Structure formats: C-alpha cells, structure tokens
Structure 1
Amino acid sequence: MTSPLSPDAAGILNTIIRSRRTVKPEFFTGEDVPRPVLEQLLENATWAPTHKKTEPWLFKVFQQKALERLGNYLADHYRAHTPADKFSAVKEQQNREKPLRCAAVIAICMRPPAADLPEWEEIAAVACAVENLWLSMTAYGLSGYWSSPAAMTEGAEFLELQPGERCLGIFYLGHAPVQDTVRRRAPLAEKVKWVTE
C-alpha cells in the first residue's frame, strides 16, 4: 500500500485519535490561543466529508469580551427557563463562569439542508467537522468539550442566525493540565462483523 504521506503519518494519526479527550471547561486555565491557531483548527474542520459538497457547517467564535456576554446569556437563560424547585444558584453561576475559563467558545451551527438532502446527512457532516476540530486541537495540545444546552439549541436570536439555520451546541476550547485518565473501548470483535461472501 502506498501513501503520499510520510511513513510515520499513520502512527501519528493513531496516537492523536487515541489521545483525544473530553475535558470540561472548569479544568481550563484561561490561557489564550493565538488567532492563527484557531483559524487552522477551523480550516481543518472544514475539510470534513460532506454530501454533494454542501459544507453545511457554520462556526461562530466567541472570544475576549464576547465570552462574558455569552456567559451572561447562558446564566440568564438558565434562570428564565428553570422551574423554581429545580433552580440552583450554583448552576447559574457555573453557566456564567464557564466561558470565561476558555480561550474561545465556538457555536456549532448548521445551514438549512438543500431540499434534496435529508437533514441527518447534514448533521452528520457537521459532526464530522467537529471531530476534525477536536483531533486538530489534540495535535496542538488543546482541550475541548462539546455541549448542547437548550440556551444554544434555542439561541437563534442570540446567535443572530438566519432563517433555517440552527445551532447544534457549543464547543468549549482551551488549555487544560494533562489528565491521566484511563480510556477504554470494548474489544473490536464485539462491534465488527466481517462479511466475506
């Protein structure tokens, strides 16, 4: 088998895939990520597979002072939409503070699907783009967390989305100390059936 990539490329890719972690923003340091790095991460995201080359993803990146505005929106939405018997002042404050620990928070949005395409294919394409983003972040030593709070999936007005566009959640991005978490997957034999005839 030949490849235009270096002989080490497969090994590097295997390591990156197995090193990807979900890290919640409370573990982030608040350290900045340079704009060119963020642009490279998002560029890599856009190389995800997409049916009929529709590229349905749309990313809205919150940084700097906009992180405070996002935190206030998340906290206010939580307060306004949580029944009194389930409301927690601690959770409200956590919603307000989470974005402030991040280098950036990316709203993962999707343009409306074409009439001849099922919506699930466009959602799958956006999810592939997020995985590209996540793997690229791992290669840069960054951490991330994809969350889908109602504040964002119902946040078309806050995000200034156009008719038909929708938000599939937000991606918290930042620096976090290396975590020695043990990750496991069930054996491949439990999940694969080889069909040869």
Structure 2
Amino acid sequence: MDIFDLIRNRRSVFPAQYNDKPIAKKDVEKILEAANWAPTHKKTEPWRFTVLTGEAKEKLGLFLSYKYMATTEKPKKIKTKKLIENPKKAGAIIVIKMQRDPKLSLPEWEEVAAVAMAVQNMWLCCTQLGVGCYWSSPKLIEHMGEFLDLKMGEVCLGFFYMGHYDGEILDQTRTPIEEKVEWLD
C-alpha cells in the first residue's frame, strides 16, 4: 500500500468492533517506534507512552468508571458500563502523554502538535498492520495523575485503543480539498 492509500484508508475502529485476537508485543513495539519518528521542533520529543495490557486494562476501566461516578452529578449507567467494558475489549491501550519541555523553549501547542503527529504515525502503522485503533480523549484524562505516576510537567492527552477486528470498516468521505484551500499569487 503506498502512503496515499494508507492515509486514505486510516479509520477510527472502536472497541465495540474488536475481536479477541491479541496484539503481538512486537507489533506494539513497531507502532511505538513509528511514533518516535514524528517531527519535533527543537528536538524536544515530548511524546511519552504507557502501554496497558492484561489486568492493567481492566484496572483502567474500573478507575475511569469510579472517577466518572464520583465527578458527575447524574452519572449515566450506559456510560459507566462503557468506561468499564471498552478497555477490556482492547488488545492493548497506549496512554498518550506529553512531557512539556522544562525550558519552555517553545509554545505548548507545538509540543501538543508533535504528540499528535506521533499518534498519527501510530495510526498509520496500525492501518498497515491491519490493527484497528481509536484515540479517545475523555474529560476524565485530567485525573490520570491519580492512576499513573505522571512526572513533573507530564500530562495525559488520551488513550490509544487498539484491537484486531473482523470485517470491513466503512468508507469515509471528505469534501474536496479545493473547498478548503485559497491560493495567492
């Protein structure tokens, strides 16, 4: 698959679509290696990751559901159940973190953008490997310091759910690029 086909075939594949086939550790390592080659201004390499497999996924689900119930005035049972179940359905979850440059040598948005590019690399690698994935960034990520040992200046930007899936993923459409570009001579 050439790079343009790979980009066009990238999709969000959600935990409800995953089957029980495990993701090989070597594939997770390859996905993380792809992330490590993202562009980074001033070479700060702000991306940090924590990989959750096995019981750690279940612990994340319980943490998120308890935190949701504790911080929501009227928690919904369906959302609570989804927070518990989705992590268990994933073959692996990569917690996406950003380590802010301690020198503050560049704007924070550039560090966030670098992490987002690292995640896009992971997404494209997953597409190439036939692994479904999805970047989830619920409001609950603001509490991840209670679940993980976040270092000084490190923040959680979400969860990268991954899993094998059966069947086809629906095609996406985009409006033509010409509608989004202005040319100046």
Calculate the TM-score normalised by the size of structure 1: 0.89
Q: 1:191 aligns with which of 173, 180, 185?
A: 180
Q: 1:59 aligns with which of 38, 42, 49?
A: 49
Deviation at 1:177, TM superposition (A): 2.0
Task: Provide the rounded CA distance (Å) in 2 between the counterparts of 1:61 and 1:151.
Answer: 18
1:31/1:102 contact within 8 Å kept: no
Deviations 1:82-121 (A, max 9, x none): 113xx22222111101011111111100002232211000
Q: Could you say which structure has the greater relative contact order, defined with CA pairs below 8 angstroms and 6 or more residues apart?
A: 2
Shifted more, 95-104 versus 186-195: the winner is 186-195
For structure 1, list consecutive stretches of 5 or more residues without a partner in the other structure. 1-10
Deviation at 1:23, TM superposition (A): 1.4
Matches of residues 1-197 of structure 1 in structure 2 within 5 Å? 12-84=2-74, 87-113=75-101, 114-195=103-184, 197=185
Task: Provide the rounded CA distance (Å) in 2 between the counterparts of 1:180 and 1:35.
Answer: 24
Calculate the TM-score normalised by the size of structure 2: 0.95
Deviation at 1:154, TM superposition (A): 2.5
Task: Provide the rounded CA distance (Å) in 1 between the counterparts of 2:171 and 2:27.
Answer: 28
Task: Provide the rounded CA distance (Å) in 1 between the counterparts of 2:128 and 2:173.
Answer: 20
Task: Provide the rounded CA distance (Å) in 1 between the counterparts of 2:169 and 2:118.
Answer: 26
* Structure 1 stretches of 4+ moved >4 Å: none
Paired residue type of 2:84:
R
For structure 2, list consecutive stretches of 5 or more residues without a partner in the other structure. none
Q: CA RMSD in A?
A: 1.3
Deviations 1:131-170 (A, max 9, x none): 0000000000011111111222331121110121100111
Task: Provide the rounded CA distance (Å) in 2 between the counterparts of 1:72 and 1:151.
Answer: 12
1:31/1:174 contact within 8 Å kept: yes
Who wins on radius of gyration, i.e. which is larger? 1
Paired residue type of 1:46:
N
Task: Provide the rounded CA distance (Å) in 1 between the counterparts of 2:83 and 2:104.
Answer: 37
Task: Provide the rounded CA distance (Å) in 2 between the counterparts of 1:172 and 1:67.
Answer: 10
1:27/1:176 contact within 8 Å kept: yes
Task: Provide the rounded CA distance (Å) in 1 between the counterparts of 2:54 and 2:154.
Answer: 25
The 3-state SS of whatever aligns with 1:47 is coil
